[in-house]
């Protein structure tokens, strides 16, 4: 979305009725249009994005903060001191209210995000604690102490939650350092007390498929090789956050036991370093090729190290019995029992190069961090000095051009095999093809099969990556890259149009119908692939995903309904009702059979004068809590071959759905959730206006 906006109003309207016009790129039509939005659209977007309801639904997190706060306040009182609490980044005010309930003598909370600060004030008042909590509308680093300051004196208890998947990615180091230097007494108690980062070296072809593009094989033959620059690239700098517990235990092999590699003392007793490197000598427990590092962290909440909050995956979680940790099937059951967190996932760090290691032969696992991020290196043998190693960055363009999900999709051997099989039926040595997809290696496959290929590549980084593949495979003379729609070849020059389809601007699966719009620039007599797109859906009961939008109501005994109202109102103003999620990470149980929303014939050109409206009912075939509908697209390549971006097996009502790990599905989450009975029905409707690329779904019990 472009940031340029125009304000439209008439003098007769009150200020609150102003509108803004925002220029938006429609992913289907490829046309930038002006859309009228509420004047507070940006505000609503910010508020909706600030929602952290899944964190507040985390009962274990809340409970352990509560217990640790109570212990800290008790300890100060037993020492004959007042308990003066500072809550940094209070959000809803939950931790401040906990401190007040636990008997703190004073509580000062700070919150810099104005809408959330206003909400916290209301929540604190509605819970009858406005006389016990002082809220400062500032960042903690801007707070002052002393006469006429934000705090009359320094606090002696700090409670804060400034952590993310990487632990330090939200600026925890600078927050704690400043607090100890300016806002806290010398012997303050900090909740949490310390944090430990764990690392585990693994071998996993499935996991590394998200990082490096591999050659495309046809049986034993290599059709497309990956350029050396891409194979040697360290990958994207950003951490790959992931629900590691959803990876089956037989999909990776641990090569080292989990190692505690970094420890951060939040109490101020030890310095917090912005730049640090450590080396751990370890004996591999298996022989293999090290592909990646799995990382997670835990928090010791109290000074006595009695309260542990762990973010470990199921196979290393302290609450999972050791006898279960080697049992793949039991582990999958246990994964549903340990606390679910979308705010604190685990992470994958890809090694700069794959390292063969041998069981029992010493290696050095080297970890680095700056103020916000971690990275790792694995070295065979002993080292005298820890080597310098800059934070890895992509220097091949591919990891910047394509998401990790897309890279995994390019490496999906089963998917590639179906496309190759369909292309072989269509392509001869005389074929002239037009490929309409971004970063499509199938264009190279078609050229390898003998065709001359035009490839539309409008994105600069994707185009540069494709050029590298062409040079590495000696196909630059058979594949011509077209940089803009205006330069597409004439209809008489081509005899076959194909695509995956995949486009960089597409978020939900049906936005890849951009292929249909582009193909419709040509007569429908020109053969196409795919030939049909079917939008499909299934009613589901998510185990946890619904928590990202679910209201809180009462949380740990405090009424947070004001927060629910704030976030849900803004979400309705700014959020698309259908979101994209990698559903393989989020377990769900089917409550209905899969059903077709609409089947679109892609061999016909788009009818821009048409308005498509369809509706129907689908029966629930199992009872449960219907909190969402999952949506995807099946692409029919020819009469015999199809590719799905949805489930990878048959959907059976009452059973878990297995989802394609290399695509994202569409998700409709119900705002009002009800239990449904077998035999009742889900009503749905779908509207598609091709001229404007407008797609709308509605679902009701």
Active-site annotation holds for 161: yes
Cα 29 to Cα 324, 521, 524, 609, distances in angstroms:
52, 12, 18, 14
On the 0-12 / 13-18 / 19+ scale of CB atoms within 10 A, 225 is middle
672 contact partners, CB below 8 Å, separation of at least 6? none
More confident residue, 35 or 102: 102
Distances (CA, A) of 576 to 419, 565, 571, 572, 698: 32, 18, 8, 8, 12
Is the sign of the CA dihedral 518, 526, 216, 468 positive or negative?
A: negative
Q: Write down the architecture of domain 532-543+587-700 according to CATH.
A: Distorted Sandwich (2.70)
SS (H, E, C) 80-112: CCCCEEEEECCCCCHHHHHHHHCCCCEEEEECC
Buried b (16+ CB within 10 A) or exposed e, 300-319: bbbbeeebebbbbbbbbbee
Q: Calculate what percentage of the chain has a pLDDT beyond 70.
A: 93
Phi, psi for residue 445 in degrees, rounded to 5 = -60, -45
- Arithmetic mean of pLDDT, 422-431: 95
| Chain region(s) in the chain for CATH 2.70.160.11 | 195-306+316-395, 532-543+587-700
pLDDT of residue 572: 73
Q: What pLDDT does residue 324 have?
A: 77
Location of each CATH 3.40.50.150 domain in the chain = 30-191+545-572, 404-505
User: What is residue 1's predicted lDDT score, i.e. its pLDDT?
Assistant: 33
Number of CB atoms found within 10 A of residue 523's CB: 9
Q: Is the pLDDT of residue 6 over 90?
A: no
Q: At 596, is the secondary structure helix, strand, or coil?
A: strand
Tell me: the pLDDT tens digits for 151-170?
Answer: 999 999 999 999 999 999 99
Cα separation, 311 vs 339, whole angstroms: 8
Q: What is the pLDDT of residue 20?
A: 59
Q: Which CATH fold would you assign to the domain 195-306+316-395?
A: 2.70.160
When pLDDT is cut at 50, 70 and 90, the band that residue 357 belongs to is: very high
Active-site choice (161, 166, 316, 579): 161
Task: Please report the pLDDT score of residue 34 as a whole number.
Answer: 61
Q: 443 or 320: which carries more pLDDT confidence? A: 443
Residue scoring higher pLDDT (189 or 321): 189
Give tens-digit pLDDT for 552-583: 899 999 999 998 888 887 777 767 789 999 99
The per-residue pLDDT for range 496-527, each reduced to its tens digit, is 999 999 999 999 999 999 999 999 999 999 99
What is the rounded average pLDDT for all residues in the chain? 91
**Confidence check: pLDDT of 590 > 90:** yes
Categorize the per-residue pLDDT at 384 as very low, low, confident or very high, splitting at 50, 70 and 90.
Answer: confident
Is pLDDT at 192 greater than 90 in this prediction?
yes
Mean pLDDT confidence for 433-439 = 97
Residue whose token pair is 């582990």: 331
- Taking residues 258-280, what's their average pLDDT? 96
Task: Give me the CATH topology for the region 404-505.
Answer: Rossmann fold (3.40.50)
Residues 6+ apart with CB under 8 A from 410: 213, 402, 439, 441
Alpha helices in 216-327 (DSSP H): 228-232
pLDDT at 51: 56
For residue 386, the SS3 value is: coil
Supply the pLDDT for residue 42: 58
Kindly tell me if the per-residue pLDDT of 335 is higher than 90. Answer: no
- Overall CATH class of domain 30-191+545-572: alpha beta
Helix (H, G, I), strand (E, B) or coil at 499: coil
Burial class of residue 132 in the structure, from the number of CB atoms within 10 Å of its CB (0-12 exposed, 13-18 middle, 19+ buried): middle
pLDDT at 14: 37
In three-state secondary structure terms, 443 is helix
Mean pLDDT of 10-16: 36
Give pLDDT, residue 643: 97
Catalytic residue among 60, 130, 170, 371: 170
- Where are the strands (E) in 391-545, listed by range? 432-435, 452-456, 479-482, 496-498, 527-529, 532-542
Residue-level pLDDT at 8 = 34
Using DSSP bridges, classify how beta strands 363-369 and 276-282 pair: parallel, antiparallel or unpaired: antiparallel
Predicted confidence at residue 151, as pLDDT, reads: 96
- pLDDT for the residue 47: 62
* pLDDT recorded at residue 46: 63
Does 123 have pLDDT greater than 70?
yes
Over range 212-240, report the average pLDDT: 91
Buried b (16+ CB within 10 A) or exposed e, 541-580: bbbbbbbbbbbbeebbebbbebbbebbbebbebbbebbbb
pLDDT beyond 80 at 489:
yes
pLDDT the model gives residue 158: 98
Kindly report, residue by residue over 524-537, the tens digit of the pLDDT.
999 999 999 999 99
Q: Is 556 a catalytic residue?
A: no
Task: Look at 182 and 574; give whichever has higher pLDDT.
Answer: 182
């Amino acid at each position: 979305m472009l940031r340029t906006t125009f304000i439209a109003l008439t003098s007769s309207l009150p200020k609150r009725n102003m509108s803004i016009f925002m220029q938006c790129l429609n992913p289907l039509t490829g046309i930038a249009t002006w859309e009228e939005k509420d004047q507070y659209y940006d505000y609503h977007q910010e508020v909706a994005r600030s929602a952290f309801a899944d964190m507040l639904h985390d009962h274990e997190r809340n409970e352990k903060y509560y217990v640790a706060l109570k212990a800290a306040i008790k300890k100060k009182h037993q020492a004959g001191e007042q308990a003066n609490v500072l809550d940094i980044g209070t959000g809803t005010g939950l931790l401040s209210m906990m401190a007040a309930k636990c008997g703190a003598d004073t509580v000062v909370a700070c919150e810099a995000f104005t809408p959330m600060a206003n909400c916290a004030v209301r929540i604190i008042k509605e819970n009858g604690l406005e006389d016990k909590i002082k809220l400062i509308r500032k960042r903690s680093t801007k707070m002052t102490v002393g006469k006429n300051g934000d705090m009359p004196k320094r606090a002696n208890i700090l409670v804060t939650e400034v952590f993310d998947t990487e632990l330090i990615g939200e600026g925890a180091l600078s927050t704690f350092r400043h607090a100890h230097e300016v806002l806290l007494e010398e012997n303050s108690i900090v909740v949490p007390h310390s944090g430990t980062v764990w690392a585990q070296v693994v071998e996993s072809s499935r996991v590394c498929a998200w990082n490096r593009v591999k050659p495309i094989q046809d049986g034993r033959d290599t059709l497309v090789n990956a350029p050396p620059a891409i194979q040697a690239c360290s990958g994207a700098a950003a951490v790959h956050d992931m629900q590691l517990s959803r990876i089956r235990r037989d999909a990776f092999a641990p090569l080292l036991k989990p190692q505690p590699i970094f420890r951060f003392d939040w109490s101020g007793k030890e310095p917090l370093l912005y730049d640090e490197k450590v080396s751990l000598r370890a004996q591999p427990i298996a022989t293999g090729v090290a592909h990646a590092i799995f990382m997670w962290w835990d928090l010791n909440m109290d000074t006595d190290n009695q309260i542990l909050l762990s973010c470990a995956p199921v196979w290393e979680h302290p609450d999972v019995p050791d006898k279960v940790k080697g049992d793949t099937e039991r582990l999958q059951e246990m994964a549903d029992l340990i606390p679910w967190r979308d705010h604190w996932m685990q992470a994958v760090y890809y090694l700069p190069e794959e390292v063969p290691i041998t069981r029992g032969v010493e290696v050095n696992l080297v970890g680095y961090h700056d103020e916000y991020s971690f990275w790792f290196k694995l070295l065979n043998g002993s080292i005298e000095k820890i080597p310098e190693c800059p934070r890895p960055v992509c220097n091949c363009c591919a990891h910047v051009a394509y998401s990790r999900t897309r890279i995994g999709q390019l490496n999906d051997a089963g998917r590639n095999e179906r496309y190759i099989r369909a292309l072989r039926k269509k392509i001869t040595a005389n074929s002239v093809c037009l490929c309409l997809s971004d970063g499509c290696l199938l264009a190279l496959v078609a050229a390898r099969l003998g065709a001359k290929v035009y490839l539309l590549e409008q994105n600069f980084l994707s185009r540069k990556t494709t050029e590298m593949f062409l040079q590495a495979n000696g196909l630059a003379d058979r594949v011509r890259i077209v940089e803009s729609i205006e330069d597409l070849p004439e209809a008489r020059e081509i005899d076959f149009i194909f695509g995956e389809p995949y486009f960089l601007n597409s978020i939900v699966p049906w936005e890849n119908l951009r292929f249909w719009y582009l193909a419709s620039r040509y007569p429908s007599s020109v053969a196409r692939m795919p030939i049909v797109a079917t939008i499909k859906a299934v009613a589901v009961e998510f185990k946890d995903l619904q928590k990202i939008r679910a209201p809180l109501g009462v949380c740990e005994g405090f009424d947070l309904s004001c927060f629910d109202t704030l976030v849900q109102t803004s979400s309705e103003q700014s959020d698309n009702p259908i979101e994209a999620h990698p559903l393989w990470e989020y377990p769900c149980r089917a409550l209905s059979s899969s059903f077709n929303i609409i089947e679109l014939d892609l061999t016909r050109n788009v009818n821009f004068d048409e308005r498509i409206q369809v509706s129907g009912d689908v029966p629930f075939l199992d009872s449960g809590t219907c909190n969402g509908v999952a949506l995807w697209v099946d692409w029919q390549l020819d009469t015999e071959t199809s590719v799905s971006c949805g489930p990878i097996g048959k959907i059976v009502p009452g059973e878990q759905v297995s989802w394609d790990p290399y695509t994202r599905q569409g998700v409709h989450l119900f705002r009002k959730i009800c239990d449904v009975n077998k035999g009742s029905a889900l009503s749905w409707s779908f509207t598609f206006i091709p001229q404007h690329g407008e797609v709308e779904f509605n679902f009701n019990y």
